[in-house]
Structure formats: structure tokens, C-alpha cells
Amino acid sequence: MPESKSSPSSPESPLNSRTRPWPLLPLLLPAILLPVVAAIVVYQLDSFDAAPMPLHELSVPFEPPLLHNDRMLQEAEFLGAGKLPGPEDFAYDSRSQVIYTGTVDGWIKRVWVNDSGSDTVVEDWANTGGRPLGLALGLNQEVIVADAYKGLLNISRDGAIEVLADEAEAMKFKLTDGVDVAKDGTVYFTDASYKYNLHEFFQDIMEGRPRGRLISFDPISKRPNVLLTDLYFANGIAVSPHQDCVIFCETPMRRCRKYYIEGHKKGHVEKFIDNLPGMPDNIKYDGDGHYWIALPTGNTMFWDIAMRYPMVRKAAAMVDRWIGWIGRIKSEKNGGMLVVDINGKPVAHYRDVELTMVTSGFKLKNHLYIGSFILPYIIRIDLDQHPARHKTRICQQLGDGFAMADPRSQTVSQSQASSAGDQPRKRLWRPFITVLFTMFPLVAAMLLYQPDSFDPAPLPIHELGQAPVVVSLRNDRMLQGAELLGDGELQGPEDIAYDSTANVVYTGCHDGWIKRVRLSDSVVENFVNTHGRPLGLALGHNKEIIVADAYKGLLNISKDGEVELLTDEADGHKFKLTDGVDIADNGMIYFTDASYKYNLNEDVWDILEGKPHGRFMSFDPVTRKTDVLVSHLYFANGVAMSPNQDHAIFCETVMRRCRKYYIKGSKQGDLEKFIDDLPGFPDNIKYDGDGHYWIALPSANSVPLDIAFRYPFIRKVMAIVMKYIGRLPTEKDAGVLVVDLEGKPVAHYHDHRLSMITSGMKIGNRLYCGSVRHPHILKLDLAKENLWLSSTITMQ
């Protein structure tokens, strides 16, 4: 890709063997950039498409309750340790005093407990063949099960299993989740997602699209009825004590809402509680005026950022897909139970920093029973011995009311810990380190990539021809035998204008000087300083120099060195990067403004952005009028008048093409192709008076650059890297392409050691090349340099 013409540095010519600075830079840059760039490429190519979430729907920040127990694991009991793999939810039969719970192996198990908890009995009861999640006790002591894979099930008292429903409105349930039964026998349940199943639930949450449903099932008609759609991972559900509404949870939105099933508000949806201090799962009514909402994880900075920014969720989903669920364990912590009254006002919060994936909880007498999607036991807490207490100091974390937890308080008896086998505090440090090193470059890349406002656009690659550029003759060692004119005295001689009368060339340098170089003895003289950055140069009919100055605009420099501004705006737009220029025989000046948005110091952003900000214009020295002839050009660059003066050729650097614009004749105002698919990125173009145009190519095209110009996200990656680290050394194999009057390639002079050749002019039998980077003009004797027959050069 062409380098910014504003670069003041002047790397040494390949002919000079001086030591380059930063010798380790080529080694350090790949080590630093490779993981980040690779992560961005993988990220952008991934088809997972996370959506913005309607966080504006949430109301004022959560007001933490006055009562807290931040050490709920202290002296907690672990019931059925090792016999209950993942007891996700509970249903309690008060008549037989048995707890039903569903486990990961498909079993509905019955658990008998006593006050001491020491004689807990666990019994396999019925296996659904799926994954039972939500449970509720029916009117006849049957167990109603929301099975993630099987749908809504009825398990009779003798263990017979009946499928009540597995689809609604011709849409199969993919993740049947929460359930409760009203006093009239109607079953209310949720299907968390109609797209993702249980193994993929994290993908659903990360995608951030509302695919959940609230459904009712009439046991008489045996028909399911969809009450609400477009819910964000619809989860737990509880029928209100008045039987006029149901409360349901939406996990990623951290809220619970109420749906009225009776009364004048029937069918309406209202807020119950917003901005919960964690992601809600199941919700249970305790018969004593309170709902107990299970929070598998407290809200954290990660979750808060993830829910707000789709790109973070996409990164998390990709990591989850590659590493698996184990990679998420460390993000799910500080789980617990939130107690709210019947109006949704928080009353108490039980939690523990070491607790993860609390998915259900119910209060029975003076005990709290807690289920978990991953832990192999039921946690029981004596609420009399460990009540929630008033907190005078609460550490707010993202407005969620998280209390500071004392790590020393998270102690459980060693006997219980050993009997439980896998305790919540067991450190999975090895997977965590793996996840850390995997996620770091991805997250770092996303945090740089997605919030960056730079927005590259697709380029119209389809406008380019499909045939490869064929060059019959080439010299790929043009540095061999070349001379350096004015070495060290010409800082970036970007373009060349030749005065045959005085046998001198004029060139514009980085320091603002227009300099003269005597070809007879290579003496360099300062001529005039524009106090800008002179780029394109052309010799006028009165030996004046017409200059396209990047910062000043179009200038006229008389033989005496007086500088006159001809124009610096057109159609109300100031020139930001005046670039190429040539003069017609009638005195009309044709020139380009490479970009009306970016100046010379920012030209790389224009190239990478891929939007047509360039213009091709004319200036009439008689009327002093500036006309825009062609707009919407992709970095408009060099200009050359045709020998018959009926059209001008101009270059579009980004598109690797030159086009012709007719200025008179029957085609006046028409625009045509001159040459497409150049083997490099064109800069200035010069006519030699002998039937050929010489097109300077600052850099050859390459596969990486070709891919970058085809895919906007790669250009954005390049822009971000350049913003933080600086330019990447992508320019190489520069040279000059010779084409005839019809745009047919004739010869190609280039060298893989050469970069940033920005102009090439044939004077006699010598080629003079200017460069925006190097501190000299390259002189090549064409009579001594051989051209070889070459094979096809293809740069698609």
C-alpha cells in the first residue's frame, strides 16, 4: 500500500549499506501484532452476529436491600453430596415431606431430609431421558417437569411419564426451562429459546436476540397457548399468591416481569423488578409474602460490559465455542438468592463470592434449600443461625449493590468439604490460565476494534477488469547501475518538472522547497519555498512552475520565484490534499485533489477508508474559475495531458487504475478506462513526447494488500495498528510502468528492494525517478539497462 506522502523520514536507499535503526523491530512487531491481528481476523470472519440489547428498557438502578448475608456458605450443609449431579430446581411435597429435583443424568430424584441433615436419603425416582430443569408440584401430587430436551412432562405419583407439550404454534421447544402450576391446574412455563438448545444456551444469551416464550398449558383441552414472545432467555416462573398474574424471569436482561392472567389487566405485561444484582434463573414463592429469586452469578464488570457491547459478547461466544463451558466458570461467581416482597421490592440478599450457578432456592420452615446447575449437592442454610443482617457499608459495583466479601469468612468445615467432593471454591486454575491466554488477545483486539469509529467501506472491485496485466518487457533490477542525484540534499523529491531550455529539473521536497537540479553536473539549488508540501509539478508556457501543494492548493511560481495562489477550493469544498497537475497547450490547468476529507498527514486513512473523496478539476487562468470535472474518485493522483490534447489521464491510487477524461471533441465530458489492474498502486503519470506514458508505482500489489482492499474489516485492523504502533512496512517492489497511448503495457522497470517511487520522467535516454521517501532522485541510463521478455504479471 502506498506510504503517506507526509512521511518526513528518509530511509536509506538500498544502494547505501548504512545500519537501519531498530534492528529488532521486524522481530518485535510480529510478536506483538500477530495474536491481536489473528484474533481480529478470526473474529470478523465468524458468522456469529450478536445484537444490541434494549438496555434502555431497564429503569433506575437497583436499590440494594437493607438486609444482607454475604457469607451464606459459612457453616452451610451439603445434602446428598455426590448423589445429586446438578440439582437445578425443586418441587416440594409437603404431605410426604419429600423434595423432588432434576439432575444432569435425566433422573428426577426424591430427597428426604431431617432437621440435622445427617441422614439425608436420595432415591432415583423417574428418568426423563432428557435434562429436567424446572419442576412444580401438580394438584394431585404429580410432578410437572420442564425438560430442556423433551418438553413439558407430567410424571404421575407412580413415576409414569407423559409428554404434555413439545411445541406451540408449530414451533418445537428447544429449551423448556421454568414451570409453575396455578390453583386451577393451568400450567405456565417458559421456552428459553426457539433457536438454541441447552448445550448452546450461552450462545443464545450472547447473541442477545429475544427468542424466548411464555406459554400456558390447559390440562383439560391439552393445548399449549403462547402468551408472550420475544423474551430474552425466558427462565423461571412463579404464579402469584392471588393467582392474578405470573412472574417470569429474563436472564440476560436481569429483570423479572409480571404477566396478568386474570382481572381487568389480563394479557398486560408490567415490570416486577429491574436491574437485578445478577442474572435471574428460577423464582419461587414461599407462601409467606416473598419471592426467592435465584441468581446463578452476580453482575460483574464483565457481564455489564458484555450486555452493553455486542462485540464483547461475540468474543465470549467464540471462546465458549472453542474452549467449552469450563472457560466460563470464573465469570460466574457471587451467586445467591434475592428475596423480594410481592411488589418486587428487595428485602434481603443471600450470596457468597465463592458460590456459582445457583439456579433455584426455596424456603422451608427455617431453612433455605439451594439448587445448582453444576454442583453435586443441595446446599442448606439455617436462616435462624445465619440470618441476613443490616449492612452499613455496601461496595457498589456497577450500581448493583455488591457488598465487599471477606475471603476469610468463606470457610466450610473440612469434613463437609471433603465429603462433598467438589466444593465451589475448588480452583480450576489450569483451565482458567488457558482461558486467560486464549481470551486476552481476542478481548484486547475487540476492545480496540469494535469501539473504534474508523469505518472502512467496500471498494467497487467489480469495476476493475478481469484480464491480467501483461507486460512483454521488464527490468526487475533497475537499481543495478543506477545513480543517485542530489543524495542527501533532496528530502523526498515527490515529482519532477523538466525545463529543456535550462536543462534542469524542478522537484518539490518535504521541507517545502522547490529545488532545481542541474542535469549537467547534478548541482542542487534552492529555488523557492512554498511553506507547504509541494507534490505535483508542471512547467508552464512562460517557464513558470505550476505546483499542486498538498496544504496550500494550486500555486503559480514565476521565473523570479514569486508564489501566487491560483485556487484552494471548489464547489464550496477546500482542497485538503492537492496532488497531481499538468498543463494543456491552451494554458488550462488540470489537477487533482486526492481527498476533500483527509489532509496529507492523514492520507493513509483516506486510502484505508476506501471512500471516494477525490476530485479531478480544471483551472482556467483567464477566468480564474475552478471547475470540478469528476468527483467521487478513490485517491485521485497524477495527471497527464494526451499528446493530441483531447483528453487527460488521471490515476486512482486505491483502485490501481488510470482513467481518461475527454476535454473536447464528440466525447467531451465522457469518462473511459485507460488501464486497469495495474501491478502496483499508481502515483504520478508523465507523457514522454514519444508515444508513451510513464506511470510511477510506489509499491507493487501483493496478496495481503489485495485481500485488504477487498475486505473492509482488514483495512480497519491495519488502521488501528497504524494508529497505535505506526506504519507497517508494506511498500516494496516499486518502479515505473510504461504504457502506450492506448494504455497497453510496454515495459516494466522495478526492483524488489525499491519502495515509494512516486514519479518517473524519461529525458533523452535516461529515466529520472522521484520518491516521496528517499533523499535523492534515481537516475537510470535506459540505453545501458537491458529489458527482458517476461511472463504474464497478474495482480488480481
Please classify residue 670 by burial: count the beta carbons closer than 10 Å to its beta carbon, then call 0-12 exposed, 13-18 middle and 19+ buried.
exposed
Any idea which residue has 476535454 for its cell? 663
**What tens digit of pLDDT does each residue of 411-442 get?**
333 344 334 444 444 444 455 555 555 556 65
* DSSP-derived secondary structure for 485-509: ETTTT-S----EEEETTTTEEEEE-
CA-to-CA distance for 130 and 174, rounded, in angstroms?
Answer: 12
pLDDT in the model for residue 55:
74
Containing 29, the helix (H) or strand (E) segment is: helix 25-45
Residues 6+ apart with CB under 8 A from 365: none
pTM assigned to the model = 0.58
| Residue 449, pLDDT score | 62
Cell numbers at residue 736, please?
A: 515505473
152-169: b (≥16 Cβ within 10 Å) or e: bbbbeeeeebeebbbebe
In angstroms, the CA 514 to CA 782 distance is: 27
DSSP code of 92? Answer: E
How much is the CA Rg of the chain, to the nearest whole Å? 37
| Range of weakest confidence among 11-15, 235-239, 533-537 | 11-15
Checking if the pLDDT of 792 tops 50, the result is: no
Q: Provide the residue count of the chain.
A: 796
331/647: higher pLDDT:
647
Please say if the pLDDT value at position 467 is more than 70.
no
Q: Give the tens place of pLDDT for each residue, 572-631.
A: 999 999 999 999 999 999 999 999 999 998 898 899 999 999 999 999 999 999 999 999
Q: What structural domains does the chain harbor?
A: 25-47+467-789 (2.120.10.30), 74-298+333-423 (2.120.10.30)
As a whole number, mean pLDDT of residues 288-298 equals 94
C-alpha cell at 313: 459478547
Lowest mean pLDDT of 101-115, 142-156, 178-192, 256-270, name the range.
101-115
Q: How high is the pLDDT of residue 329? A: 44
Q: Any idea which of 54-63, 298-307, 738-747 has the lowest mean pLDDT?
A: 54-63
Q: How large is the average pLDDT for residues 631-657?
A: 97
Residue bearing cell 428426604: 112
Which of 165, 150, 159 lies closest to 109, judged by CA?
159
Contact 424, 355 (CB under 8 A): yes
Which of 210, 321, 347 has its CA nearest to residue 269? 210
Give me the chain's average pLDDT, please. 85
Sheet order of strands, 578-583 included = 578-583, 589-593, 614-620, 625-633
Q: Which residues of 248-274 are buried (b: 16+ CB within 10 A; e: fewer)?
A: bbbbbbbbbbbbbbeeeeeeebeebbb
Q: What angle do CA 430, 432, 437 make, to 5 degrees?
A: 100
